Structure 1
Amino acid sequence: MTPGKTHEALQTFAGVQIASVQYQPTERPIEDRFSVTLSSDGARLLLGVYDGHGGAATAEHISKILPPALLACPPGEHTHVFEATDKSMLDAFKADHTPFRLRLQSPDWMYNAQVLRSGCTALILDIDIPGMKVNYANAGDCRSLVFDSRISEDADPLQQTADLNAKSQSEQERLKREHPGEELVVVSGRLFGKLMSTRGFGDGYYKLPRGVNNWQHKKHVDVLSSVDRNSGKVPLNAQYESYFYGYRTPPYLVATPDVGVMRLSRDSVIVCGSDGLFDLVTSEVVAQTVRHGIRDGVENLAAHLLDSVIPLGIGDDVTILVLTFA
Structure 2
Amino acid sequence: MAATADAQYAEVRVELADRPDDSPIRCAFVPLSDADVSANLRALAHPQRTVFDSTAGHRVDSVSFQPCVGYHTQDRHVVQQLDVHGQKWTFTGVFDAGHLGDATVEHTAYHLPIIVTQFLQKAIPGPSAPVPAPDTVADILSRAITSFDDAIAGDILALFPGGIASLAARSDEEIRAVINDFNAAGVGANYQKARLCMYGTTALVALVDPHHENLWVANLGDSDAVLTSPGLDGRWQFEILNDIHNGDNESEVRRVRREHPGEPDAVLDGRVLGTIAPFRCIGDAPFKQPAEFTRRVLYNLYPGIPNASQWDALLARNRTPPYISARPDVTHRRLRAAPALLVLATDGLAELCEDVPRAARASEWARCVGAAYAAGKAGPENLALWLLREALGPDTMHVSQMLTLDMDTPWMDDTTIIVQVL
TM bucket (normalised to shorter chain) is 0.7 to 0.9
Among residues 2, 6, 21, which one is paired with 2:63 in the alignment? 21
Q: Is 1:176 matched up with 2:257?
A: yes
Deviation of 1:43 (Å): 3.5
Tell me which amino acid in the other structure corresponds to 2:327: T
Match of 2:214 in 1: 133
Tell me which amino acid in the other structure corresponds to 1:185: A
Distance in 2 between residues matched to 1:155 and 1:271, nearest whole Å: 13
Correspondence list, 1:117-266, <5 A: 117-149=198-230, 152=233, 157-210=238-291, 215-223=292-300, 226-227=302-303, 235=307, 237-264=308-335, 265-266=337-338
Tell me which amino acid in the other structure corresponds to 2:63: V
Distance in 2 between residues matched to 1:34 and 1:7, nearest whole Å: 12
Among residues 125, 130, 140, which one is paired with 1:77 in the alignment? 140
* Farther-moved stretch of structure 1 (55-64 vs 185-194): 185-194
Tell me which amino acid in the other structure corresponds to 2:382: N
Distance in 1 between residues matched to 2:143 and 2:159, nearest whole Å: 24
SS at match of 2:46: strand
Structure 2: unaligned runs, 5 residues or longer: 1-39, 121-136, 180-187, 354-360, 394-398, 403-410
Q: Is the 8 A contact 2:82 2:113 kept in 1?
A: no
Q: 1:290 to 1:155 in 2, by over 3 A?
A: closer
Distance in 1 between residues matched to 2:230 and 2:303, nearest whole Å: 47
* Farther-moved stretch of structure 1 (81-90 vs 294-303): 294-303
Tell me which amino acid in the other structure corresponds to 2:76: R
Q: 1:96 to 1:184 in 2, by over 3 A?
A: same
Deviations 1:62-115 (A, max 9, x none): 011111111222423112111111111111222346514699626412111221
* Farther-moved stretch of structure 1 (33-42 vs 121-130): 33-42
SS at match of 2:196: helix
Q: CA RMSD in A?
A: 2.6
Among residues 151, 168, 185, which one is paired with 1:88 in the alignment? 151
TM-score normalized with structure 2 length: 0.68
SS at match of 2:366: helix
Deviation of 1:288 (Å): 1.1
Identity across aligned pairs (percent)?
A: 26
SS at match of 1:37: strand
Correspondence list, 1:285-304, <5 A: 285-297=364-376, 299-304=381-386
Match of 1:317 in 2: 414
Distance in 2 between residues matched to 1:216 and 1:127, nearest whole Å: 38
Distance in 2 between residues matched to 1:122 and 1:156, nearest whole Å: 25
Q: Is the 8 A contact 2:47 2:385 kept in 1?
A: yes
Q: Is 1:38 matched up with 2:38?
A: no
Distance in 2 between residues matched to 1:318 and 1:268, nearest whole Å: 23
Deviation of 1:218 (Å): 2.3
* Farther-moved stretch of structure 1 (271-280 vs 40-49): 40-49
Structure 1: unaligned runs, 5 residues or longer: none
TM-score normalized with structure 1 length: 0.87
Q: Is the 8 A contact 2:344 2:417 kept in 1?
A: yes
Q: 1:43 to 1:217 in 2, by over 3 A?
A: closer
Q: 1:182 to 1:300 in 2, by over 3 A?
A: same
Match of 1:10 in 2: 49
Deviation of 1:131 (Å): 4.6
Distance in 1 between residues matched to 2:67 and 2:284, nearest whole Å: 23
Q: Is the 8 A contact 1:149 1:269 kept in 2?
A: no
Deviation of 1:156 (Å): 5.1
Q: Is the 8 A contact 2:236 2:367 kept in 1?
A: no
Q: 1:150 to 1:300 in 2, by over 3 A?
A: farther
Distance in 2 between residues matched to 1:24 and 1:96, nearest whole Å: 38
Aligned length: 314
Q: 1:219 to 1:124 in 2, by over 3 A?
A: same
Distance in 2 between residues matched to 1:316 and 1:228, nearest whole Å: 27
Q: Is the 8 A contact 2:223 2:344 kept in 1?
A: yes
Q: Is the 8 A contact 1:167 1:190 kept in 2?
A: no
Q: 1:110 to 1:149 in 2, by over 3 A?
A: farther
* Farther-moved stretch of structure 1 (304-313 vs 285-294): 304-313
Q: Is 1:116 matched up with 2:179?
A: no
Distance in 2 between residues matched to 1:22 and 1:131, nearest whole Å: 26
Distance in 1 between residues matched to 2:263 and 2:284, nearest whole Å: 20
